[in-house]
């Protein structure tokens, strides 16, 4: 990756979310009404879920078949089914014995037919997964992969991660270094690759820059703050939606971690700009305020599920304050999804950053970003975060919780330990 240049600027990275008591209700209050346990110092303690979802009809596993959670209709729920053995795979493909799979925003939206396209049903969702190779095509063998390798896959086009077995293209898998555990690896690539490519390719963060990261409930926001702090060596001021997430991001070593306050945000930026000797006045800077509104608008009541969870709303904008400094705003925002439509007179729209486009148009950059992220984690420089681990048979509970986000950390499905209940792992 390109090494950061040495000069000092004021930047702002923004990732946004709903207010603590927004339109989706109190996530953690509902969650704690279930039996949820805490992992302390790496030790899991398990209790029993008591809600109706734990009584779903789960088929008995059958010899020669594998189980998958399929979306058969757009009602936001998945059905565990016994699947016929996989057909013969191509030379460019591998078969993964899945251990863990994250729930990402697109999984929630696809399950409710709210994504940018309508998938053909039935479909097995889940694209960010970790597991062990049980079949390796010739192309994968030529690249050094072998049966038994632990890999992480970003199956962004094929999905299939919510299952015991998953087929993936060799170009979409990476070997997991031996000192990274599989659970942590599951939450690495999607968020950290998104943040890394945006910070490194779209804008260039310099060492000692001051960056405002508006995290909200977006997991790429956590990744952006982690990378900016521990890789680019910038001074990160993190803005979070609640005290729990503020404490979480503080543990990653950020310069400051605050809860969001609309009235105080601009004043705080002005204060930092003054300390950095950046000459700026926000009072008459209408352009900047319009940009900022695109990011902070999702804090407002009435924010739709689509706007909150859409994958393409990680945006990056540079705003020049003066010759002495600039602000970089990046993160989940009210992006323009229909370029044919005319924006309202008082509105300002931006185009979102899409990591999938790099996979198609710049595959070498895409692959290298994955290698860089794994290297950073292997060296102990960054730390992925997950909020819950839920057993495969409780996947509908997990999907529901992910559609009502109250934290920026992800929910992970444990495919092997199918019966375990929600275990809080936020650390």
pLDDT 10s digits, 380-414: 999 998 989 999 999 999 998 888 777 778 899 99
Q: Give strand pairing partners of 168.
A: 94
The answer on pLDDT for 183 being more than 80 is: yes
* pLDDT tier at 357, thresholds 50, 70, 90: confident
> Phi/psi at 373 (nearest 5 deg)?
-60, -45
Q: pLDDT at residue 48 above 50? A: no
Out of 199-213, 252-266, 333-347, 357-371, the most confident range is: 357-371
Q: Which residues contact 392 (CB under 8 A, 6 or more apart)?
A: 67, 69, 80, 162, 413, 414, 415, 416, 417, 418
DSSP class of 280: -
At 330, the pLDDT band (50, 70, 90 cuts) reads low
| Mean pLDDT for the stretch of residues 139-146 | 96
103 class by beta-carbon count within 10 Å (0-12 exposed, 13-18 middle, 19+ buried):
buried
Least-confidence region, from 145-154, 181-190, 205-214, 232-241: 205-214
What mean pLDDT comes out for the span 64-70?
A: 97
* C-beta separation of 346 from 56 below 8 A: no
128-138, pLDDT tens digit by residue? 999 999 999 99
Whether the per-residue pLDDT at 18 is higher than 50: the answer is no
The reported pLDDT for the residue numbered 77 is 92
The larger pLDDT score, comparing residue 84 to residue 47, is at: 84
Q: Tell me what pLDDT residue 30 has.
A: 37
Average pLDDT in the chain: 78
Judged by DSSP in three states, 304 sits in coil
| Model pLDDT, residue 93 | 96
pLDDT top residue among 291 and 162: 162
Q: Would you say residue 4 has pLDDT above 60? A: no
User: What's the confidence (pLDDT) of residue 338?
Assistant: 43
Asked if the model's pLDDT at residue 247 lies above 60, the reply is yes
Task: Check residue 103 and give its pLDDT.
Answer: 95
Note the Cα 52 to chain centre separation in Å. Answer: 28
Does 110 score more than 60 pLDDT? yes
Provide mean pLDDT across the span 14-33.
36
Q: Which residue has the higher pLDDT, 192 or 354?
A: 192
Mean pLDDT to the nearest integer, 91-113: 94
The 10s digit of each residue's pLDDT in 255-293 is: 888 877 777 777 777 777 677 665 555 555 677 777 777
| pLDDT value for 37 | 35
Percentage above 70 pLDDT, the chain: 70
Q: Express as a percent the part of the chain with pLDDT over 90.
A: 43
Checking if the pLDDT of 344 tops 60, the result is no
Least confident segment among 37-51, 314-328, 391-405:
37-51
The answer to whether residue 311 scores a pLDDT higher than 90 is no
pLDDT given for residue 52 in this prediction: 43
Q: Could you give the CA distance from residue 229 to residue 209 in angstroms, rounded to a whole number?
A: 10
DSSP for 71-105 reads: E-SSSS--EEEEEPPPPPPPTTEEEEEEEEEEE-H
Better-scored residue on pLDDT, 130 or 244:
130
């Amino acid at each position: 990756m390109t090494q950061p240049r040495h000069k000092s600027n004021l930047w702002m990275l923004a990732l946004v979310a709903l207010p603590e008591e927004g339109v989706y209700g109190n996530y953690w209050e509902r969650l704690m009404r279930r039996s949820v346990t805490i992992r302390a110092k790496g030790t899991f303690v398990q209790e029993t879920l008591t809600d109706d979802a734990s009584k779903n009809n789960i088929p008995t596993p059958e010899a020669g078949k594998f189980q998958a959670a399929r979306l058969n209709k757009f009602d936001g729920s998945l059905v565990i089914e016994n699947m016929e053995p996989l057909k013969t795979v191509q030379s460019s493909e591998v078969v993964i014995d899945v251990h863990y799979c994250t729930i990402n925003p697109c999984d929630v939206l696809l399950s409710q037919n709210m994504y940018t396209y309508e998938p053909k049903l039935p479909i097995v969702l889940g694209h960010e997964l970790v597991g062990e190779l049980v079949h390796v095509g010739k192309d994968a063998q030529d690249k050094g992969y072998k049966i038994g390798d632990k890999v992480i896959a970003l199956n962004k086009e094929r999905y299939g991660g919510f299952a015991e077995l998953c087929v993936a293209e060799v170009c979409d898998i990476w070997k997991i270094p031996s000192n990274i555990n599989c659970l942590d690896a599951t939450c690495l690539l999607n968020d950290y690759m998104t943040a890394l490519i945006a910070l490194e390719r779209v804008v260039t963060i310099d060492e000692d820059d001051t960056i405002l990261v508006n995290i909200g409930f977006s997991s790429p926001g956590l990744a952006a703050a982690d990378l900016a702090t521990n890789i680019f060596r910038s001074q990160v001021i993190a803005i979070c939606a609640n005290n729990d997430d503020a404490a979480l991001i503080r543990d990653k070593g950020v310069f400051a971690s605050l809860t969001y306050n609309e009235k105080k945000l601009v004043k705080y930026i002005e204060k930092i700009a003054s300390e950095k000797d950046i000459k700026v006045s926000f009072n008459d800077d209408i352009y900047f305020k319009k940009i900022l509104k695109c990011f902070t608008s999702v804090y407002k009541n009435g924010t739709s599920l689509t706007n909150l969870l859409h994958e393409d709303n990680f945006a990056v904008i540079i705003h020049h304050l003066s010759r002495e400094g600039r602000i970089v705003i990046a993160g989940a925002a009210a992006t323009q999804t229909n370029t044919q439509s005319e924006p309202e007179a008082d509105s300002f729209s931006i185009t979102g950053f899409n990591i999938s486009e790099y996979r198609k148009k710049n595959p070498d950059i895409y692959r290298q970003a994955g290698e860089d992220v794994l290297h950073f984690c292997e060296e102990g420089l960054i730390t992925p975060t997950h909020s819950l681990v839920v057993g495969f048979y409780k996947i509908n509970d997990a999907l529901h919780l992910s559609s009502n986000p109250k934290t920026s950390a992800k929910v992970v499905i444990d495919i092997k330990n199918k019966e375990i209940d929600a275990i809080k792992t936020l650390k």
